[in-house]
Amino acid sequence: MSPCVSRCEELTRASMIPRLTNGMFGPEGYRFEEVVDSTNRMAMTLAQEGAPHGTVVVADGQTGGRGRLGRSWASPPGVNLYFSMILKPELPLERVAMLTLLTGVALAECVTAAGLDGARLKWPNDLLHGGRKLGGILAEMTARGERARYVIVGVGLNVNGRATGFPADVAQRAVTMAEVLGRDSNRGEVLADFLHRFTGWYRCFLEEGFASVRAEWLGYARLTGGERVRVTTESGEVTGEALDLDERGCLMVRRGDGGILRVMTGEINFER
Ligand code: BTN
C-alpha cells in the first residue's frame, strides 16, 4: 500500500461513517476526495447544485487551497485536515460573520481535547499556538436578499508532520499539532470530534443566540485589553488596543485618541 493510500484511509467514507453519528453531519453528506483544487470551491459548486445543509467536503490534499484576503493555503497531502461545510442557516447577513467565530470556538476546543494546551483564537479566523498559525477558517456566502442562502465554512488545520515542510514564507509562521504534542493524531478522529463540537455550538447559536459563543471565544482569545494591534480594514489602517468582542462579533479596539472602533471585517496584527 502506498503511503498516501494508507494515510488517506483515516478520512475515507468507510472509516468516517461509523464516526458520523451526531445528526447534522450524517454519512449521506460526507464527501471525500483524495485531491481537489479547493474544498471551498467544490462545496460552493455542490451547494449551487442543491447539496443539502450538513454536507461536508473533505480532501486529503488541495492543489489550490484558498485563504482569506486572496491568499493561498498550503495543502500538502497526507498530513493535515482540509474540509468545507455547507450550511444553510436562516440568518440575516449581519449574523453570518458569527459563524466564523463559532467555528473558531469548536476548533480551539477540539485541539484542546486532543491534548494541546495553549490554543488561542485571533480575530476573526485564526487558530494560533505560540503565536504561530495552527489553523484557519474561510467562510464564503451566497445571499438571497437580506438573508444568507448558503454559507461555506472551510477549515484548514495543521495536524501531522512539520510546518517546516510548508513553503518557506509560511513555514516560519505555522505550527502543526504534532509539533506541539510530540505525536501524530488520527485525522479522522480529530475531524469527527470537530464536527460534533461544531454541531453543538451551531445549535446553541441558533437557539440561544451569540452570547455563549462570544464568552467561549473570549476565553480562547485571552485579550488583555492592553495588547497593541494594527487593524487593517477596507478604509485603512488603525493602531490601538484590542479590548473586547461586541455582541455582534465585532472586534472593539481603543484608538490612540481614546475613541472605540468596532471592526466588522478586517485583519489584525499584534504589535510587539
Ligand atoms: C485563512 O486563514 O486565511 C483561511 C484558511 C482556510 C483554508 C481552508 S482549507 C479547506 C478550505 N478550502 C480552501 O480552499 N480553504 C479552506
Give the distance (Å) from ligand 1 centre to CA of residue 155. 5
Domain of residue 105, CATH code: 3.30.930.10
Q: Are residues 34 and 80 in the same domain?
A: yes
* Domain range enclosing 9: 4-220
Could you tell me if the CB of 89 is within 6 A of ligand 1? no
Q: Are residues 152 and 237 in the same domain?
A: no
What confidence tens digit (pLDDT) does each residue in 83-130 have? 999 999 989 999 999 999 999 999 999 999 999 999 999 999 999 999
Q: Are residues 103 and 9 in the same domain?
A: yes
Q: Are residues 250 and 201 in the same domain?
A: no
Q: Are residues 22 and 126 in the same domain?
A: yes
Domain of residue 252, CATH code: 2.30.30.100
Provide the pLDDT confidence category of residue 164 given band limits of 50, 70 and 90.
confident
Q: Which of 46, 56, 71, 73 to mutate to test the pocket of ligand 1 (most atoms within 8 A of CB)?
A: 73
Give the distance (Å) from ligand 1 centre to CA of residue 123. 15
Q: Are residues 68 and 200 in the same domain?
A: yes
Mean of the per-residue pLDDT values of the chain: 92
Q: Are residues 16 and 95 in the same domain?
A: yes
Q: Are residues 247 and 183 in the same domain?
A: no
Cα(265)–Cα(124) distance, integer angstroms: 8
Provide the pLDDT confidence category of residue 2 given band limits of 50, 70 and 90.
very low
Q: Are residues 184 and 257 in the same domain?
A: no
**Which of the listed residues 187, 203, 220 is the one where a domain comes to its end?**
220
Looking at residue 250, what is its pLDDT? Answer: 92
Region of 30 on the Ramachandran plot (φ > 0 left; ψ -120 to 50 alpha; else beta): beta
Give the distance (Å) from ligand 1 centre to CA of residue 258. 35
**Which of the listed residues 181, 197, 220 is the one where a domain comes to its end?**
220
Could you tell me if the CB of 103 is within 6 A of ligand 1? no
- pTM for the complete prediction? 0.94
Q: Are residues 13 and 60 in the same domain?
A: yes
Domain count, the chain: 2
Q: Are residues 101 and 231 in the same domain?
A: no
Q: Are residues 71 and 52 in the same domain?
A: yes
